[in-house]
Structure 1
Amino acid sequence: MLSLNDYLYSGDTVLKILHCYSDDLRENGIKNHNQIDLVHSNFLIRISELLQHNEFLTSQSQRILEFYKFMAREYPFLAFTLKGRIKSLIRAEEKFNGKIVGLVYKHYLANGTFPSLPELKDKLSKIRDLIAYRFVISLPRCHLAQGQNRESEEIKYLYELANALPEILEEHGFASQLASSNTAQAGSPLCEDVRPYYKDYIFGQKEAGYRSLHITLYDNLSRSFAEVQLRTKDMDDFAEIGPANHLGYEKRQEAERARRDKIPVGECQYFDEAYERGMMLQKLDLSKIDVNMFSAVDNSLINDGCGLFRGRLILPYEHLSRFQNDLID
């Protein structure tokens, strides 16, 4: 079985690693009639193309910025940030293999059988968050009226922004995509006409405490998908530096082991390989790997300027409360 871990010790660039891993997966898929390896190879090619041919990001990010301008104009009392990123190689590999493990596990629990190959391939083709933009808002205490609760006021504004976002961005070449799962529940503050497009992890909060609103957009100009996330600062802190942080592996490892215990070893090759790859990545010691332009003292002290681990930053913008800049003139 091929795994990304095998390619991280040669001193190659991220692009060279992507090409080598993708080529070998394709060769292995053809040789062993493993169609998931072929899907995997194509998935890595998509990432490689984003990193190599990303001129479209200038146009895309500028059009996403139109919503930022709307926020600055209509909500001058809010402070907020806008960031964009391409999912890093390690995160993307975790996502792909985790998707297989989750799909097989859910299908097996529900039916006692494994999903068909066409079903797996269809679901894997719908990973659409390789490009993501995040709006994080905060309501300064000086703008709170007496007796107002800061958290509830921020959430109120967050849903107002979520309701406005699809129409504004559709005017600039984007098309909102129906949420594939975890669709926002009836009764949430989302308007009825936008609710089907959102994954609402606030009203329908995840067990781990992660909270955010997610919507997937199709960019008709670049013919690519992008995910937009909306959070309050407290939600973002919880996700990035709190218990929900991607770096906190213990709960994830426990969940993955529980899934492994339910699926008979050797019964589903795709599950076995995806599970093993995922566990290998979780145990990866970043300080030991050798990738050009990457250095890590340990798993916490990391300098990643190449999109290997944390992700390649597309754009950062910050709007301070009651601060207007040239972007909204």
Structure 2
Amino acid sequence: MMKAIMATKRILITGGAGFLGSHLCDRLIADGHDVLCVDNFFTGSKDNIRHLLSHPRFELLRHDVTFPLYVEVDQIYNLACPASPVHYQHDPVQTTKTSVHGAINMLGLAKRTRARIFQASTSEVYGDPEVHPQPESYWGRVNPIGPRSCYDEGKRCAETLFFDYHRQHRLEIKVVRIFNTYGPRMHPNDGRVVSNFIVQALKGEDITIYGDGQQTRSFCYVDDMIEGFVRMMHSPADFTGPVNLGNPGEFTMLELAEKVLKIVGGKSKLSFHPLPVDDPKQRQPDIRLAKEKLGWEPKVCLEDGLKETVAYFRRVLER
């Protein structure tokens, strides 16, 4: 395990009321830091951080990162951006602006305050890959004009900006590429496969399978992902990334559906639909770099993580 960083830092988290952001808020507060959570609540929710609102080391600011922000901080985690197809395709122009203008504004803040800055990039920078599993050295196969490109290319451009600021202005940057992550506080209507399957099963509805269900994904539990974030932020300054964070366990959509139905029970059936445009057929991270540089690898198996996530969605649907 890495040594804990004892000195209290002022840490900004953009997208801090979202799924990953709220768990990161919890972790950094628990580690003894002062946290400024910034969110415009397009996909984030106050329910995710309500338990922190009265905490003396937590502050919430409603703000859109496409506009400049003037605060004093030691570290910045830039997580702001809709991350599910349903949400990022709802307003694709705003999605691209959030990735690109948001990166420019946060990098400008980091330049002024000399803060170390972390970019939550995505496995979608690899597009529909021809290399499997995907190493960080793979440049990707992305459609630049498709319905998903607002997110894929926005994140690719943000990575470009981070590395240009690093080279030109000597900023300390940390870039991670996040593979599918799941767990409590996922949005029930975000269109992602784990939340889709669980909500449909709990409601007794048919499980929606796109294509033949043989396309694969790798699923990382949220606690493992947050541990990777923190280790990356605390890694030596000369290690910029990008680094893949995800669980290399690979499952077909049919296998995931079977696991969800086994946990939930009920009598939901499978319903097959056409595959969405540019939907990747394979997704699996090569995490050798994370193991080598961060001493990180996932600990939570899919079955255990799904049980926690199902329990969360049961509570949400009973409200």
Q: Which TM class, normalised by the smaller chain length?
A: under 0.3
TM-score normalised over the length of structure 2:
0.26
Larger radius of gyration: 1
The one of the two structures with greater contact order (alpha-carbon pairs below 8 A, sep at least 6) is 1
Structure that is richer in helix per residue? 1
